[in-house]
Structures are given as structure tokens and as C-alpha cells.
Amino acid sequence: MDIEVLHNIDLKDFSYFKIGGKVENLYFPKSIDEFIFLLMDLDNPLIFGGFSNVLFSSVGVKQDLICTSKFDKFDINDSYVKASAGVRGAVLSRACMEKSLTGFEFMSGFPGTIGGNIYMNASAHKQSISDTLLKVKVFNTSKKEVVELLKNDLNFGYRSSVFQEKPYILLEAEFELSVDKKENISNRIKENREFRKTHQPQNIPNVGSIFRNPENNSAGKILDEVGAKLLKVGGAKVFENHANFIVNYDNATSCDVLELMFVMYNKVKENFGIELKPEVKYFGDMSEREREICKILFQR
Ligand SMILES: Cc1cc2nc3c(=O)[nH]c(=O)nc-3n(C[C@H](O)[C@H](O)[C@H](O)COP(=O)(O)OP(=O)(O)OC[C@H]3O[C@@H](n4cnc5c(N)ncnc54)[C@H](O)[C@@H]3O)c2cc1C
């Protein structure tokens, strides 16, 4: 198969954080057949969609990478929506609004794809991707087979899904949305976007929330209480309007971000006895110092 591939590229050119060293091969399948072919053929590749929840090591990544961004077909039939893994949530949100379908307004404000959003069980503004999901087609990488799973098989929780526990790669998903007036949907999308303009970094590299919210608490609030907004390490600093966002304001390395996360984690632990858990996913080869920090932060 003649599948698009880039060689020896800098991951910082792709990741939302604008951080990351070299990777030898980055593949871009355009169809389910190409995607499955790669999953069968490559040795344990890493899969990404929008690269909007990842921190890549500045040292680089040894494994092959597959990016689903060009596997981006979708169909809308009445209130049923079928989408490939690489469809941008924001694109689908707009298309559903045009058909007067509600349920995807929350996805208009951040850069995730359907695959990444389901893996993370992405949510915002009282909506989540699992609310409307009916079933998925997945590739089981240990059995090398395609299976269909229903929503109840997917173990959804706060920022968690079966995809984080089992060797499953999302290929396609089907949803059922509800009907509402287009004007109401459009207004909700506008409100969501306005909220982000005032609360989140604009045009400065970041990956959204760095830590998950502890149970019945807000990571942003407790980080603010320990003075995190004043913290910086190298080219990475905490965003001045939201203490749970790290921005790459000056060519930060993965080590800068990890060191900063470690300071934030330690301050919260010392002051509140809470051990924050990262929401961002880390990939790649680690320096000695990164290994030490990851052992504690990511428990690996
Ligand atoms: C400005 C900004 C605002 C944000 N706001 C929110 C928010 O409000 N709510 C929220 O939930 N998140 C938010 N995020 C975080 C991020 O957009 C989400 O986590 C999103 O779901 C990640 O999707 P992605 O396609 O970019 O995934 P990636 O970053 O490419 O990957 C994330 C994880 O998903 C896995 N993955 C990706 N595709 C597949 C697949 N097909 N099969 C199996 N695994 C896969 C990857 O291996 C990786 O572990 C925000 C990010 C930014 C930059």
C-alpha cells in the first residue's frame, strides 16, 4: 500500500505543546484499510489524533507513530453520526449544528479528534463524548483483529476509558444525538468559545489541563491557592489566568515541563496532602532526570 509517511521529523512541529524531538517514521493513513494495514504491519506503533494532550520527549521517540488526522470521514443520517478516528471534534460539532443536532457543542472549543476524545473521555461544559456514543469499531493489537464494542463495554469514567487499559485502537465510532433549534446550538457554541477566550491561553502552545481534577475538587483552584501562577522553569510557565495550564512561552523542553509539573505536584502535596495525577500523556525516551520525575508523577 502506498501510505503517506514522513521520515526523520521533529515532533515539536506537530504537537500542540510545540515540544518534542525526532521520530523516524510518522504515518498518515487515509482510510480504515490503510490504518488496519499499518496496525498489522508495524511493531507496536503509537497512535495520535490531534496531538493536543501529549508531551513528547525532547530526546525523541523511538517507536513508529501513526497520526489519524487524514482518516477523517463522517456521515450524518437523521440523528445518527458515524465518524472515523481522525475527525476533528470541532469540525463534527459544526456539521451537527448545521443539521440541528445537539450533543457535540462542547467539542467546538478544543483541538481533539474523535479517537483522542474517546480515549480520554473528553468533556466540557456539562457534555462528554461518552454521553452520545452508541458503539465503536476497534482494533485489538494483541489479537490483531477488528471488533465492535458497545458503549457499556468501554468502562468510561472521568478522563478514562477502556482504551487506557486494554490494547485497543479506535477505528470508528457511532453516536446518536438529539434534535434542537440550530440557533440554540449555535448560541451554546458561542458561549463555550467565549468562556475559553477569557479563561484559557490563546495562541500560545499548551495542551489544556495539565492535571486531572482530584475527586470533588478543582486542580486549578488548589494550584492557585499554592501560588502556582507565579511558577516557571526554563521556557515553561504556569498560565497567569489558570493555574492548571502550562504554556510553552520560550522554546521549552520536555524536561522544563516535567520539572514544572513536579514543583506544582510537590506544592499541592505539601499544602493539602493531595497527590495530583497528570491529565497530559507523556511519550518518548527519557533523560535520567525525566525518568526520576516520571516515576513519581506518572507512576512508571
Ligand atoms: C486549548 C486546549 C483546550 C482543551 N480543553 C479540553 C477540554 O475542555 N476538555 C477535554 O477533555 N480536553 C481538553 N483538552 C485536551 C485535549 O484536547 C483532549 O484530551 C483531546 O481528547 C485529545 O485528543 P487528540 O486527538 O488531540 O489526542 P492526542 O493528543 O493525539 O492523543 C491523546 C491520547 O489518546 C490516544 N489516542 C489518540 N487517538 C487514538 C485512537 N484512534 N485510538 C486509541 N488511542 C488514541 C493517544 O495514544 C494518547 O494517549 C484541551 C486541549 C487544549 C490544547
Per-residue model confidence as pLDDT tens digits over 124-181 = 999 999 999 999 999 999 999 999 999 999 999 999 999 999 999 999 999 999 999 9
Among the listed residues 22, 25, 8, 11, the one whose alpha carbon sits nearest the alpha carbon of residue 64: 25
Residues 6+ apart with CB under 8 A from 152: none
Q: Which residues on neighbouring strands pair with residue 282, listed in sequence order?
A: 55
Distance of CA 21 to the CA centre of its chain: 19
pLDDT, one tens digit per residue, over 174-184 is: 999 999 999 99
Ligand 1 mean position, distance from CA 187 (Å): 24
Q: Is there a contact between 7 and 24 (Cβ–Cβ < 8 Å)? A: yes
Rounded Cα distance between 164 and 96, Å, is 28
**Percent of the chain's residues with pLDDT above 70:** 100
In angstroms, the CA 63 to CA 58 distance is 14
- Compute, in angstroms, the gap from residue 59 CA to the centroid of ligand 1: 22
The answer, yes or no, to whether any atom of ligand 1 lies below 6 A from the CB of 163, is yes
Query: Stretch 80-106: mean pLDDT, rounded?
Result: 98
pLDDT band at 72 (very low <50, low <70, confident <90, very high): very high
Determine the topology of domain 4-67 in CATH: 3.30.43
Calculate how far, in angstroms, residue 112's C-alpha sits from the geometric centre of ligand 1. 5
**Residue from 57, 108, 209, 254 carrying the catalytic annotation:** 209
Sign of CA dihedral 134, 50, 258, 244: negative
What distance in angstroms lies between residue 15's CA and the mean position of ligand 1's atoms? 11
* First-to-last C-alpha distance (Å) of the chain: 37
The pLDDT value recorded for residue 56 is 98
Pocket test for ligand 1, best of 15, 19, 28, 48 (most atoms within 8 A of CB): 48
pLDDT tens-digit readout, 258-279:
999 999 999 999 999 999 999 9
User: What pLDDT does residue 48 have?
Assistant: 98
CATH for 219-297, among 3.40.50.2000, 3.40.190.10, 3.40.710.10, 3.90.78.10? 3.90.78.10
Ranking 193-197, 228-232, 245-249 by mean pLDDT, the lowest is 193-197
Is 123 close to ligand 1, i.e. is its CB under 6 Å away? yes
Say how far apart CA 133 and CA 152 lie, in whole Å.
Answer: 10
The pLDDT value recorded for residue 299 is 87
- Is the pLDDT at 91 greater than 80? The verdict is yes
- The CB-side HSE value for 180 (13 A sphere, CA atoms) comes to 16
Rounded Cα–Cα distance for residues 89 and 104 (Å): 8
Could you please state the CATH topology (level 3) that the domain comprising 74-196 is classified under: 3.30.465
Which residue, by CA, sits nearest to atom 39 of ligand 1?
115
* Ligand 1 pocket mutation pick from 105, 119, 131 by most atoms within 8 angstroms of CB: 119
Q: Is 238 in the pocket of ligand 1 (CB under 6 A)?
A: no
Task: Report CA(53)–ligand 1 centroid distance (Å).
Answer: 5
Question: Distance from the CA of 120 to the center of ligand 1, in angstroms?
Answer: 6
Q: Using the predicted structure, report yes or no on whether residue 1 has a pLDDT greater than 90.
A: no
DSSP string of 5-74? EEEEEEGGGTSTT----EEEEEEE--SHHHHHHHHHHSSS-EEESS--SEEE-TT-B-S-EEE-TT---E
| 161 is an active site residue | no
Q: How confident is the model at residue 300 (pLDDT cuts 50, 70, 90)?
A: confident
201 near 218, Cβ under 8 Å? no
Answer yes or no: 209 catalytic.
yes
Mean pLDDT of the chain: 97
Question: Which atom of ligand 1 is nearest the CA belonging to 52?
Answer: 26
Beta strand 281-283 pairing with 54-56: parallel
Pick the catalytic residue: 159, 172, 188, 254? 159
Task: Please list the residue range(s) of the chain that carry CATH number 3.30.43.10.
Answer: 4-67
Q: Is the pLDDT of residue 246 over 90?
A: yes
Name the phi and psi angles at 89, rounded to 5.
-55, -40
Share of the chain above pLDDT 90, in %: 98
Report the nearest atom of ligand 1 relative to the CA of 207: 53
pLDDT bucket at 212, cuts 50 / 70 / 90: very high
Which residue is closest in CA terms to ligand 1's atom 28? Answer: 51
Name the residue type at position 140: N
Q: Where in the chain is the domain with CATH 3.30.465.10?
A: 74-196
User: What is the number of residues in the chain?
Assistant: 300
Q: Whose CA is nearest to atom 53 of ligand 1?
A: 207
Q: Is the pLDDT of residue 23 over 80?
A: yes
